[in-house]
Structure 1
Amino acid sequence: MLKMALRSHPLIALAALLWVSGALAATAANALVVTSPPLPVGWNLISVPLDPIDADPPAVFKDPSGDPIPISGNLYRYDHDAGGYVAYRSFDPSPFGTAKRGEGYWLHLGAPARICYDAHPISRLELHLATAGWYLIGTPKNSTVALQDIEVTNEAQARTVGLYDAIYAEGWLGGKLFWFDSANGYATCGFDAWADADHLEPWRGYWVCAQAADLCLMVPFDEVPPTGLITAYDGQFWLDGQPFRFVGANIRGMAHYGEGDLLPFSQSGDRQVNCAALRNEMQGRVARIFVASKLASTVEIGDRLRDTIAVAEAYDIYLLVCFTDMYNASQMHPMGDEVYYTVPGPGYAMLNHEFWSSGHTVNYLPLVRYLVNRFKDEPRIFAWELGNEIRDLSSTATFITSCQTIHDEIRAIDPWHMITVGVSRSMAGFSYSQAVDLYNDRFDFLVGHPYNGEDWEDDTGLAASLGKPFMVGEAGFNSDFYSDRPSQTDADIAKWIGRGARGYLQWGFMATSYDIGDGDWYFGVDHALHDDWIPYMQVYSYWGNLLSAP
């Protein structure tokens, strides 16, 4: 255990962090990507908030683009047993060892940088302070921790109190914690009015003085991932520790079946019909649905999603939940958003600039918050999708800012479900650098909607460069121009899987014996409007079985 005096020079003050974790999920399915705030030029006293998947220092100390941060001769750890510092040297890395949550590091930067690495999530952390003296600790999660949420146990007395009482009532700890600001020197963290902060920030190191022996500081975590959740990591989707590849379909209006408004010819039992066909005939695993309705209240939309989830669960199907539609023709947008559909299109209107600059906060964002909060622990949610083919045709910059804001609102409520934008780089009008900036820090996977075998929405290369999955979110072949659509689709799936796509969703899937209004005259797969259902199911069942094989 650490016992040392606080010194004035930062290099002398470096010490080991002694976090001891509870059980860790050791599979890639539970991985998170964590990114530090900008670190300035010069010496930085840092810690890593979560255990790295790959603990080799060059794998941890990378920037968000995956480029290495120069650490040879610039990164130091403190060897408590030896009483000295060990530098990382690329030509002889073994003395330094691996990077750990549980150690503090001095990192000298010649240029500003951010650290980005893949990490294990954790559920609870304990820091043991065996003897009196100074300890250097770090925030053991990738978000702030209020001092009032920290508990302290005196193991010799078998008593646990809050940090405030541990300081002021029991005298177990010194009155302030100290952190190092690269520009201004040491600052304080504490409960009194003169402290610079009252919470711990991730990636920082903090000095704390134990004034009693056998203390244990505990930081609880509420954010434990639900079991059976699909996650994205290392360019793939993961489920229960195994790569998850799939075929599936857009059953766009399924949440609204039997409600008598958007799809008046549908029945609630059509959910079962479609899900049964998707799972049993198609061997599909994912259904994409448009959850909003201009004719339903927020609570009603939530109830419709609840009922749809129940059916999906019965057939072992996951739902990609799309919050709104770029086009007003579907009427699958939040109530009140009709006023924002003023951009003319061929037979429909599209969302305007006002929606992205401010209008999305009026109806859309409250609906998103409600649904995410209500279903944040639901494992049948494959991912949240901001919208179908959404974009700002007047300002790409405004659209990017809005997407970032919406993402952050969702992530603040739901730390685990994947989030995607719902539009390809080409359709949205992003430059390559804009797409990298948008997707790198926030969104979990990329999508494209390539029809008729087209390639202009191919973002597989971009996804691979970011280490994120790509999936085909919509696809189909126009029955007016393709006489053997199943064969064309077979070749198309092979092409996209060969390029690295992890999933492929057919557009316009409608398994009912009659037209309920949820298919597509040109691109759909159904019994009512086309005559190629059986060969289509043969193609999809082949790929569904192939992709699900270990």
Structure 2
Amino acid sequence: MTPRFVFAALFALCALCTFDLTWAASVPKGFVSVKGSQFQLNGRPFNFVGANSYWLPLLTEKKAVDQTFKQMRAAGVKVLRTWGFNGINGTELAGALESDLTYYQLWNGPEWELNEGPNGLQRMDYVLEAAAKHDIKVILTFTNNWSAYGGLEFYVQWIGGAGATHDTFYTDPRIVASYQRYVKTLVNRYKDSPAIFAWELANEARCRGDLPTSSACPKSGMLTEWYREQSAFIRSLDKNHMITTGGEGHFFWKDPEDPTLLNDYNYNGEAGEDFDADLALPNIDFGVYHIYPQYWYAPRDYPSSNFSLADWGVQWIKQHAEAAKKANKPVVLEEFGYFGLNNKTQVFPRWVGAALQTKQNGVMPWQFGALDLVEPDRVIKYADAIIDGDSPNDGHTIYKNQTFVYNIFTAAAAVQKLRSL
């Protein structure tokens, strides 16, 4: 399949597009809002191809931030998703200062200290300033299910103490108050900015993370209740920006047509999410979900198997489209990745095509790669590094010189632009 064919095929899908010119007129100009199953911007539908880039606020050079946004805009990207968190322990401070690491929270006890300085929130300030300059909106995520970059387990370990399980984050009132203090800081700082597309409660919240969970969390509705409470809290602070969960889109199907799904983590409620119930919450404006079957189902995909990771991904896309249709809310394929460049060329046209066919409002691969940045080569944190001016490569990163794969997304961006007329 040539890039030209991919482009033509994706454009043909726009025959399925519908155009709804209604608008939630109560929001300020430049703010994206929701009307039924459609995003709206200044009275027009807003559909997009977006980009994930957790590393963008970790850049030290403003010019490199602008270079990245220029490359995104040239690719047709309209929405960036990035981390609004990075916490460090006090023992990490000296190293962070030496490496000029961006961080926002410093933990030396149960009360974290906010870093509003030039290596803290001032860097996020510039990311949003540059996003507005390049006409790109930003989904800002408040914390991480995983320990990387100071996720929610920092709260658990510093406040919950020894023996606290991962899901303590969702129920301990001291932890909830600390999370809300951080959320309030960011929301109040940026709530007047039209560069914000939406607030996101957590990246991939689950009952378990790097710490184990308690028996109380799975299948209990604990996470749905947390989504309810935190989305209501944010709505009390900001009436104009949208809110979403950041979840992977796990279902909780109690009586599926296929009984084997009762033992499937993505469908049986063990993860703690319930995509249908979560999407129905009054202050959750749109649904998001992720796709990583190489992690989730790798043992089932082998040459003589009748199980296909690519086919499973198409099914997952269609299931979330159907759930969003029932809820009459937009849905965004917010993260997806596949290892191996040759694998991407085979799988991504199918997944992106399925997302466009089912009228998904946003398509956001993990993750965008920038080239030739004016940024010092260095290890940022963990194995994440700027090398020869190129942004970090985790095996899922997509760069412009990967022409076939890159063109899949530029073609899809053109289709989404047509759907936004």
The TM-score normalised by the length of structure 1 is: 0.52
CA distance in 1, matches of 2:153, 2:192: 23
2:67 maps to which of 273, 282, 286: 273
CA RMSD of aligned residues (A): 3.2
Residue in 1 that maps onto 2:170? 356
- Matched AA of 1:460: A
Which residue of the partner structure matches residue 300 of structure 2? none
Cα deviation for residue 321 of structure 1 reads 0.6
| More off after superposition, 430-439 vs 516-525 | 430-439
Counterpart in 2 of 1:400? 224
Structure 1 residue runs of 5 or longer lacking an equivalent are 1-25, 32-120, 122-224, 259-266, 345-349
Structure with the larger strand share: 1
User: What secondary structure does 1:292 align onto?
Assistant: coil
Greater gyration radius: 1
Contact 1:232-1:444 at 8 Å conserved across structures: yes
Q: Is the 8 A contact 1:292 1:334 kept in 2?
A: no
The one-character-per-residue Cα deviations of 1:337-391 (angstroms, maximum 9, x if unpaired) are: 55489999xxxxx970111112542432111011112211211101001011112
| 1:524 and 2:326 are equivalent in the alignment | no
After superposition, where does 1:464-475 map in structure 2 within 5 Å?
464-475=325-336
Q: Work out the CA distance in 1 between the residues paired with 2:69 and 2:182.
A: 25
1:447–1:472 contact (8 Å) kept in structure 2:
yes
Partner of 2:143: 324
2:82 aligns with: 289
Q: CA contact under 8 A between 2:331 and 2:360: conserved in structure 1?
A: yes
- For 2:338 and 2:223, how far apart are their aligned partners in 1? 30
- Given that residues 78 and 135 in structure 2 are in contact (C-alpha distance below 8 angstroms), is that contact kept between their aligned partners in structure 1? yes
State the shift of 1:434 in Å: 5.4
Unaligned runs of 5+ in 2: 1-19, 89-103, 106-113, 209-213, 252-265, 294-309, 378-384
Call closer, same or farther: CA 1:465–1:376 in 2, change over 3 Å. Answer: same
In the TM superposition, residue 430 of structure 1 has moved relative to its aligned partner by 4.7
Structure 2 partner of 1:548: 417
AA aligned opposite 1:255: P
| Distance across 1 between alignment mates of 2:345 and 2:161 | 37
Which secondary structure state, in structure 2, belongs to the residue aligned with residue 289 of structure 1?
strand
**Percent of pairs with identical residues:** 22
Which residue is 2:356 aligned to?
A: 497
Aligned partners of 2:235 and 2:159: how far apart in 1? Answer: 26
**How far 1:444 sits from its partner (Å)?**
0.5
2: distance between equivalents of 1:323 and 1:428? 26
C-alpha deviation, 1:429, in angstroms: 5.8
| Maintained 8 Å contact 1:390/1:428 | no
Partner Cα distance (1:523, 1:363) in 2: 33
Q: Does 1:391 align with 2:206?
A: yes
Contact 2:153/2:166 (8 A) holds in 1: no
> Offset at 1:542?
1.4
Residues 10-21 of structure 1 correspond to what in structure 2 (within 5 A)? Answer: none
Q: How many residues align?
A: 313
Using a 3 Å threshold, how does the CA distance of structure 1 residues 351 and 418 change in structure 2: closer, same or farther? Answer: farther
- 1:263 is matched with which residue? none
| TM-score, length basis structure 2 | 0.67
Structure 1 residues 438, 500: closer, same or farther in 2, change over 3 A? same
Measure, in 2, the Cα distance between the counterparts of 1:377 and 1:422.
22
Q: How does 1:121-520 map to 2 (within 5 A)?
A: 121=26, 225-258=27-60, 267-280=61-74, 282-295=75-88, 296-297=104-105, 298-300=114-116, 301-331=120-150, 339=158, 352-358=166-172, 360-393=175-208, 394=214, 395=217, 396-423=220-247, 424-426=249-251, 427=266, 430=269, 435-440=275-280, 441-451=282-292, 453=310, 454=313, 455-456=315-316, 458-479=319-340, 483=342, 485-513=344-372, 515-516=385-386, 519-520=392-393
